[in-house]
Amino acid sequence: MSGVVSGFTVIFIVVGIGYLLGRTRVLGDSAHEVLSRLVFFVCTPALLFVSLVTTDLSAIFSTTLIIAGGSALLIAAIYVVIARLWLRHEVPELVIGGMASSYVNSVNLGLPIAIFVLHDATFIAPLLLFQILVFSPIALVALDLTADPAARANSRRSTVRDVLIAPVSNPIVLGGVLGLVISATGRQPPAAILEPLKMLGNASVPAALLAFGLSLTGVAVFKKGQAPRRAIALATALKIVVMPALVYVIARWGFGETGHQLFAQVVISALPTAQNVLVYATRYRRAQIMARDTALITTVLSIPGIAVVALLLA
């Protein structure tokens, strides 16, 4: 449990610093948007590239990839169906909500927990790959084609060419795909190229957390009249309760996993919503309050959630 406490302590401290920077306006009024753009266009692509280039792909293509990826898509689909029928949301809000309910914080919290709780960092690698190369492209293509009013008005005239161009023009997707391709060759870039990318990639997690803290300035979480409470509650319930239960069922009875392997699968699924969802929401200017509040609430609730998983399965 000390690993869980340490991981969350790191998050809360950095987010708190971001909040204080926002309250004091040391970085100016546009700090949140500028920092989010830096994370989106520079730091996160570098982090994903370096992570995949230095990862053994044999540890990634495993049952964890199927279980984590399949459950995430299923949970996102459940959110989309319920939110569309119940809340009548448009496509961009459905996409952000689907990600908020299933996109796991696999880096800044997942890696510490994988190391200190699961004692094996490779447990998180398959989920990271799935989110980079499958989940993010699907979501980002949908946002690229629908978030802009002009694009939404012309969506019926979108062609196959539009769908193909959208992902390859996204820096995050490009970083992940390029890293995977180079990793598959078994060769790494020269140190002169890899080291500056490592420096930029190392800034991704703290910058995203600082941006998250900045976004909290002057607002009340789950505030009546501003926050879409039903959407936040739905995404939170799916992420913290339904997703771990679903992963347990799939891993236990679908793949026959037991012991530490089963424990690891459920712990990974119980991780909170990634701050990247807020970065995407800010980038496309859709469902930002929903992404921010869901990330914060699931981060708080995942502490007792992972504790319960540890008591039952560890």
Domain residue ranges in the chain: 2-313
From the list 310, 305, 296, the residue with the least C-alpha distance to 240 is: 305
Instruction: Identify the pLDDT of residue 107.
Output: 67
Percent of the chain residues past pLDDT 90, beyond the cut = 29
Q: Please return the burial class of 147, using the count of CB atoms within 10 Å of its CB with bins 0-12, 13-18 and 19+.
A: buried
**Per-residue pLDDT tens over the stretch 44-65:** 888 888 877 877 777 667 788 8
The pLDDT, as a whole number, for residue 152 is 47
Higher pLDDT, 104 or 15: 104
Judged by phi (left if over 0) then psi (alpha if -120 to 50, else beta), residue 25 lies in left
CA geometry: angle at 284 spanning 283 and 288, to 5°? 85
Fill in the amino acid letter for 108.
N
Task: For residues 232-255, give the mean pLDDT.
Answer: 95
Helices 259-269 & 288-313 angle (0-180, nearest 10): 160
C-alpha closest to that of 298 among 68, 8, 2: 8
Q: Do residues 271 and 105 lie in contact, with contact meaning Cβ atoms separated by under 8 Å?
A: yes
Nearest to 64 by CA among 240, 260, 302, 251: 251
CATH number of 2-313: 1.20.1530
- Asked if the model's pLDDT at residue 85 lies above 80, the reply is yes
| Mean pLDDT, all residues of the chain | 83
Residue type at 84 in one-letter notation: R
pLDDT of residue 298: 92
Tens of pLDDT, residue by residue over 109-145, are 776 677 667 777 667 777 877 887 788 888 888 887 7
Average pLDDT over residues 182-207: 88
Task: Give pLDDT, residue 64.
Answer: 84
Indicate whether 233 pLDDT > 90.
yes
**Which amino acid, one-letter code, is at 274?**
A
pLDDT digits (tens, 9 = 90+) for 143-192: 877 876 554 444 444 445 555 665 566 787 788 778 888 888 888 889 89
DSSP 180: H
Structure tokens at 3: 């690993």
> Given this model, what pLDDT does residue 128 score?
78
185-192: long-range contacts at Cβ-Cβ below 8 A with a sequence spacing of 24 or more?
188/53, 188/54, 189/53
Binning pLDDT at 50, 70 and 90, where does residue 108 land?
Answer: low
What is the pTM (predicted TM-score) of this model? 0.77
CB atoms within 10 A of CB 297: 21
